[in-house]
Homo-oligomer: A and B are copies of this chain.
Amino acid sequence: MPKLVKKRSKKTGLPAGSNIHTGEKKTKNVKITRINYDEVKYQEREIKKIEKCFPFKDKPAVTWLNINGIHDAEIIEKIGEYVGLHPLLLKDIMNTDHRPKIEDFGDYIFIILKMIYYNEKKNKIEIEQVSLILGLNFVISFQEREGDVFNSIRERIKKGKGKMRKSGADYLAYSLIDAIVDSHFLILEGTGEKIEKMEEKLIANPTPNTLQGIHNLKRDMIFLRKSVWPLREVISCLERTESSLIEESTGIYLRDVYEHSIQVIDTIETFREMISGMVDIYLSSISNKMNEVMKVLTIIATIFIPLTFITGVYGMNFAYMPELKWHWGYFAALFIMAVVGVFMLIYFRKKKWL
């Protein structure tokens, strides 16, 4: 489960414009990778000094600059200066708690998205911020740490399969967004399986842990939802943009990814409804179980209380109690008690309490 609110105290009250990384520092060293490609060429290089990859704006090939690690203000400022980014954007890139957004500056489009994946080790969903800058022939992506959902894209660029190598930077940007939206489906698949397992457990043997599990699912959905709704807006905005940076032929792909984002939202809403139904089932089955315990126990108690009363009567020490003298009195008393007990059992069974 992600942190509820990341500490912003560091920033709050600082001059708007001072670039300070807000959020957890998730990687030690900044790693910069540059991929250059056009229909015929392909080059991938790790770069130590950011200046080395300039200039790339005027080259005909498409350049994809990927920066893992966003805590080093110097690198980001240098890139900002070269590309001509608005100072506020530098702050936005470094603030990992930013809401997904898109802004069109004419020369470039700035996009903030949330990448989502399941951390098997920590057994929880991780959300990582990805900032994209789409220029005429370049895409710059900023990630919080190494490891992402873009490997298949790298593969496709390398192998030159599909439209990728034939298309411009806008198609690359689309592919990155598509990969991010697809990453949600993996999480939702996992959640769907969890919900199904949980439902079986609910019927078989509900425990307080089950409720805790339902609650965690609910919480995951709240967080997913919080990040997916603005994602949808961003893609919708990108689809409807009239920026010259997006070729017309890419439009249909953006529409496709937009539909996927709506499907993610639909699924999250469906899950939310199902999970809230599960709480009802849980509460009612817990109360059923308890009721059953109470019922059986109370029945036992109730049968014996009248019988004990009878033993009490014949345990009294009155001088004159005719029954006590009868030879078969004891057995008669036992017989009466048996009759009373059996009668009550029959009565309970008739009332369907047993």
Instruction: List chain A positions with a Cβ less than 8 A from chain B.
Output: 3-5, 7-9, 11-18, 86, 88, 92, 97-99, 101, 103, 149, 151-152, 156, 161-164, 174-175, 178-179, 182-183, 185-186, 188-189, 191-193, 195-196, 203, 208, 211-212, 215, 218-219, 222-223, 226, 252-253, 255-256, 259, 262-263, 266-267, 270-271, 273-274, 277, 279-288, 290-291, 293-295, 297-302, 304-309, 311-321, 323-330, 333-334, 337, 351, 353
Contact = CB atoms under 8 A, between A and B. Distances in A.
A98 B330 CA distance: 79
19 contacts: A4-B271, A8-B182, A9-B189, A15-B162, A88-B253, A97-B263, A98-B259, A99-B266, A101-B259, A103-B255, A211-B281, A286-B288, A294-B294, A297-B298, A301-B301, A309-B311, A313-B334, A319-B327, A320-B329
A4 B274 CA distance: 10
A306 B311 CA distance: 12
B5 A162 contact: no
B324 A88 contact: no
B293 A295 contact: yes
A150 to B, nearest CB: 9
Contact of A313 (B8, B223, B311, B329): B311
A328 B259 CA distance: 85
Nearest to A283: B284
A280 B283 CA distance: 10
A203 B212 contact: yes
Contact of A195 (B4, B182, B320): B4
Nearest to A11: B182
Nearest to A271: B4
B256 A88 contact: yes
A162 B274 CA distance: 45
A223 B270 contact: yes
A330 B334 contact: no
A154 to B, nearest CB: 11
B301 A312 contact: no
A224 to B, nearest CB: 11
Contact of A222 (B97, B274, B313, B318): B274
B99 A222 contact: no
Q: Which of A195, A203, A266, A317 has the most CB of B within 10 A?
A: A317
Contacts of A186: 8-9, 12
A273 B221 CA distance: 11
A284 B211 contact: yes
B319 A270 contact: no
Contacts of A282: 284
A337 B316 CA distance: 13
A309 B42 CA distance: 90
A117 to B, nearest CB: 11
- List the 9 closest A-B pairs by CB distance, nearest first: A311-B312, A4-B192, A13-B152, A314-B316, A5-B192, A318-B330, A15-B162, A315-B315, A321-B330
Given A8-B185, A203-B212, A301-B302, A317 B315 contact: yes
